[in-house]
Structure 1
Amino acid sequence: MKLLLLISTLTISLFAGSINFEKDLSTAKQKAIDSNKKLMIMYSTPTCPECNYMKKKVLKDKEIVSFVNENFVSVIMDIKEDEKILPYKFIGIPTFYFSNAKTMELLSKKIGGTREKQFLQIVQNVK
């Protein structure tokens, strides 16, 4: 019984601290429309150190996770694999685009990595 409780607690803690990233843009867009949320698109690539820092540190922050999951539907797009369907041009990675899901109107963007407090301010200021 104690082992089962320990396993359950560990499983919940692993999943509770993550942004719910969708696997593709069309699914994310439809979910954002259906839930009346904004869209957050992260452009990255697995070999990018700044991207990996953002994924492993900043995007695991409890306040950021809570705020982003409550207000956005998120998707990570690999600049190499998803190049043909990227909706916006980019000049560096990571780049975060915040948009209206219905119109894909760009509301804000953030280029490069940042610390937790700065990123939280950025997502809170998306109108």
Structure 2
Amino acid sequence: MKLLLLTLSLTLSLFASSINFEKDLETAKQKAINSDKKLMIMYSTPTCPECNYMKKKVLKDKEIVSFVNENFVSVIMDIKEDEKILPYKFIGIPTFYFSDAKTMELLSKKIGGTREKQFLQIVKNVK
């Protein structure tokens, strides 16, 4: 039964058209812990041009969507609305933090926007 559910969820994630972003960090952490996945946290604001480019173009790429949904639980945090609960300091946006959900150990980070091919390499290199 577990194998069937896993196969179904992986199949659905392959056909997903967008990354499954959780509503808040705590929900994302719990889902990542329960599913033995890493966290991908994006710091952003609605008015950030590079953030919007990443959301509308790069994070819609089918290969990126599939890989991220399969390996990460993701959340977008608004640096203004969520300022008091941001887990990491930042110097610019967008910033992507890849971390262990249990310990919140930072595994990797990417500051700024990038193209699809480069972003895919970044997420594939997170250990």
The worse-fitting range, judged by mean Cα deviation, of 2-11 and 77-86 is 2-11
Measure how far apart 1:11 and its partner are: 17
- The SS at the match of 2:39 is strand
TM-score normalised over the length of structure 2: 0.89
d(CA) in 2 for partners of 1:7, 1:39: 21
- The SS at the match of 2:55 is helix
Measure how far apart 1:16 and its partner are: 2.4
d(CA) in 1 for partners of 2:55, 2:83: 20
Aligned 1:1-127 pairs, distance under 5 A? 16-127=16-127
Task: Name structure 2 gaps, 5 residues minimum.
Answer: none
Measure how far apart 1:72 and its partner are: 0.1
* Cα deviation code 1:66-101 (max 9, x no counterpart): 000000000000000000000000000000000000
d(CA) in 1 for partners of 2:91, 2:2: 52
Measure how far apart 1:9 and its partner are: 19
Distance 1:48 1:34, change over 3 A: same
Distance 1:74 1:10, change over 3 A: closer
Distance 1:109 1:2, change over 3 A: closer
Equivalent residue pairs, number: 127
* Cα deviation code 1:32-65 (max 9, x no counterpart): 0000000000000000000000000000000000
d(CA) in 1 for partners of 2:39, 2:9: 31
2:16/2:66 contact within 8 Å kept: no
Higher Cα Rg, which structure: 1
d(CA) in 1 for partners of 2:115, 2:14: 22
Q: Moved runs in structure 1, 4+ residues, more than 3 A? A: 1-15
Q: Over aligned residue pairs, what C-alpha RMSD do you find?
A: 6.3
Measure how far apart 1:2 and its partner are: 35
d(CA) in 1 for partners of 2:14, 2:103: 34
